[in-house]
Structure 1
Amino acid sequence: MNLLPDLPPAIPADYLELNRRLWNAKTASHLASDFYDVPGFVAGNSSLNPPEQQLLGDVTGQRILHLQCHFGLDTLSLARLGAHVTGVDLADDAITSARALNQQLGLEAEFLQANVLALPAHLDGQFDVVFTSYGVLGWLPDLPQWAASVARCLRPGGRLVLVEFHPAVWMFDNYFTRIEHSYFNRQTIVEQENGTYADRAAPLQETSVSWNHSLGEVLGRY
């Protein structure tokens, strides 16, 4: 466990490429996993959980920007509920898979590959809701920049719906058996990932780059 004093985070120049490769590899495993149950989703199941359903409310006719959408199950669930949804993710394989599911299901969601810290200008001021959920903030090196990106995409009176794990989760190893990082760690976390949360036996070995943001950092700023 790292208990050294906080230091300014050093951001690897290639962190986006490393994480893009990581999530491309995860996508291949996740599409086939019981965790995501893509056949059940295609048959009509929703991937949305009660907390986000309650926070989002009736989305009929709303324009929703879904950041870090992975391969699109939540995005497509929102489209099924009548929202006009755009999903964004860094991983190109995830976006390709999301578009294929969208076409297969006959829905009208849109999907873009982009860095959420540098969203395309044509998204500015277009959305009633920006939605993002579960394990998203830890992949962002700069929360103020992210918040500014979110705000730029919202219409006047629009809102952010963020559903996230408590940041204490990022203290632990992937199996939640031991503490590896201080809760207040501000340094970049570079790890070798073996397998994935949806399938620990998956033949995946990739480097991940992430950051821990304390609850005070998340709520105190915004």
Structure 2
Amino acid sequence: MPLSEYAQVSRREAGAEETAAANRSWWDAEAGDYYAEHGTFLGDADFVWGPEGWREDELRLLGDVEGRRVLEIGAGAGQCARWVAAAGAQVVATDLSSGMVRQGLDLNRKAPQRGVPFAQCDAVELPFAEGSFDTVFTAYGAIPFVADTARLMREVARVLRPGGRFVFSTTHPFRWAFPDDPGARGLTLTQSYFDRTPYVEADSDGEATYVEHHRTVGDRIRELVAAGLVLVDLVEPEWPERNQQAWGGWSPLRGGYFPGTAIFVCLRA
């Protein structure tokens, strides 16, 4: 979770409209700095599932994408979408933030042979017909930044063809109970895993500028099942020895004790 110098941090309720407005504005302003800080780690046309550094060419969670119609939601600058396109898929990248879309289009201009089409839209209201895609995925995009993730799951299921695959990575729900600290302090439980109250940063007027939402593992599974999706795997990647970098609250220290990322692999019924 990011923390600006002047943010008021609290745990309070934040509805869908407030959440979307805050996160759209935050990522619009943060897009360039985020790319400058993490671009080398992510690559411009690579597919990294999370701060641990595991890549799709290692985990192969999407399966064979050659010739498939693929949608990335919460795509950021579209790094993962470019990797999928290079693997032979027809890809569309989407993001709520115009700043992130602009960053992605800038990368397209720098390497047009690796460009992918973008659409700016909310992941809970996708501008695509039913059954448009064989695969939908997101790597740390959309899921934690949406108030009504049950609606997001239904929307993903709507645009997937029967038998299509949905794979998403997000902060492991277990981490919610611990401070967002990469050091020893981050190993001490400080709040209830079952407390679903959103994390909110606000400006001096109390207006939300950034929001994250928490769900338990059971919540996630119930959302998927209710949307007509079948969970076929839940991957909890261990921290690899090759990665000695910390990323926010993710670190080799914490990764040696408990998972920081959860990757849900689902099929459309």
RMSD across aligned positions (CA):
2.7
Cα distance, 1:52 vs structure 2 = 3.8
Cα distance, 1:81 vs structure 2 = 1.5
Output the TM-score relative to the length of structure 2: 0.65
Output the TM-score relative to the length of structure 1: 0.77
Please say if residues 19 and 145 of structure 2, whose CA atoms lie closer than 8 Å, have aligned partners that are also in contact: no
Cα distance, 1:31 vs structure 2 = 1.9
Please say if residues 65 and 84 of structure 2, whose CA atoms lie closer than 8 Å, have aligned partners that are also in contact: yes
Alignment coverage as a number of residue pairs:
198
Summarize the Cα distance change of 1:144–1:173 in structure 2 as closer, same or farther, 3 Å threshold: same
Q: Share of identical aligned residues, percent? A: 30
Q: Indicate the residue corresponding to 2:32 in structure 1.
A: 28
Q: Indicate the residue corresponding to 1:79 in structure 2.
A: 85
Structure-2 separation of matches of 1:117 and 1:181: 29
Matched, 1:182 2:184: no
Structure-2 separation of matches of 1:32 and 1:108: 19
**CA deviation string 1:41-92 (max 9, x = no partner):** 35xx623354644111221111111011111111111112111111111110
User: Matches of residues 118-129 of structure 1 in structure 2 within 5 Å?
Assistant: 118-120=125-127, 122-129=128-135
Summarize the Cα distance change of 1:84–1:108 in structure 2 as closer, same or farther, 3 Å threshold: farther
Summarize the Cα distance change of 1:172–1:26 in structure 2 as closer, same or farther, 3 Å threshold: farther
Q: Indicate the residue corresponding to 1:110 in structure 2.
A: 117
What amino acid is the match of 2:176? W
Q: Indicate the residue corresponding to 2:147 in structure 1.
A: 141
**CA deviation string 1:120-175 (max 9, x = no partner):** 1x343210001112364221211221111001111222111123331122334443
Summarize the Cα distance change of 1:41–1:13 in structure 2 as closer, same or farther, 3 Å threshold: closer
Q: Which runs of 5+ in 1 are unaligned?
A: 1-7, 194-205
Matched, 1:11 2:15: yes
Please say if residues 9 and 186 of structure 1, whose CA atoms lie closer than 8 Å, have aligned partners that are also in contact: no
Summarize the Cα distance change of 1:10–1:134 in structure 2 as closer, same or farther, 3 Å threshold: closer
Cα distance, 1:119 vs structure 2 = 1.2
Summarize the Cα distance change of 1:140–1:55 in structure 2 as closer, same or farther, 3 Å threshold: same
